[in-house]
Amino acid sequence: MRSDTLRVPGAHLYYEVRGNGPLLLMIPGGGGDAAVVDPIADLLAEHFTVACLDPRGYSRSTLDGAEPRDQRVQVQSDDAYRLITHLTDEPACVFGGSSGAIAGLDLLARHPERIRRLVAHEPPCFAILPDAEEQRAFVEEVYTLFRTEGLVAAGMRFLEGIGGTLKPMPAPAELPPRAAAMMTRLQANSPIMMEHELRQFTSHIPNVDALAGVVDRLVLGSGRETGTHLPARPATELANRLGIEVTEFPGGHSGFTDEPEAFARLLLETLLAPVRS
């Protein structure tokens, strides 16, 4: 594995690359970084050049200014586009989990010529749901709790509201060194995500008209353990609007850490399948 940084407008993006073959870009969810895909990256690297980044403002991807800023879907997808262009001249496969799936959907909608296939796993774009106003109020409640009572109270309310489909993070002392270092970074990222990303990404509405023209390259996924809980509902709603099926992956919202081998097998099968005509 090698690591490097890419200069983009307003930030330096840290990324890691391993394996050989066509490019597969992994976009982590809110507050995540390049190391979150470690459980499946080596399995995928037998077939792909696997690249994963720290989204701007998180972990090792530094902003030009000292203060964190509100995250924007279009900026994160522009970063992904620039990294793909930096690493390959060919269309790339992309996997996005959680808010990374929202960035991936925007990337596919605006730059379809650079995407061979996108797997968008449980994008939390609550604004497309029939009860969008109720979900907006829920997110605002979580944010208010964060500002008034702190991260723990907000996190507990968020887990309650989404059906408890996220598993608690282990303590760094319980983990090997690389995973422990990642967990320390993720703990530092969590308040940034609550302050600058949660409301901004969950209120994003994907460009359904643009995606309708590239459904042959889009796979929407949800976790078997998520069932019909809130994290899976936007994928189902978007699939219904586009006239495609949702692919059920092993595990829950973070299935690639819940059941990494089974998740990687299905992801490989999905990525390597012929593009639908």
- The string of pLDDT tens digits covering residues 69-96 is 889 999 999 999 999 999 999 999 999 9
List, in order, residues 6 or more apart from 260 with CB less than 8 Å away.
39, 40, 43
Tell me: pLDDT of 236 over 90.
yes
pLDDT > 70 fraction of the chain, expressed in percent and rounded: 96
Top pLDDT among 193 and 68 is at: 193
Tell me: pLDDT of 276 over 80.
no
Residue appearing with tokens 């497309």: 128
Instruction: State the Cα–Cα distance between residues 225 and 149, nearest whole angstrom.
Output: 30
| Domains in the chain: ranges and CATH | 2-272 (3.40.50.1820)
pLDDT > 90 fraction of the chain, expressed in percent and rounded: 89
pLDDT computed for residue 168 by the predictor:
63
Tell me: pLDDT of 165 over 70.
no
List, in order, residues 6 or more apart from 16 with CB less than 8 Å away.
1, 2, 3, 34, 35, 51, 52, 53
- The string of pLDDT tens digits covering residues 95-112 is 999 999 999 999 999 999
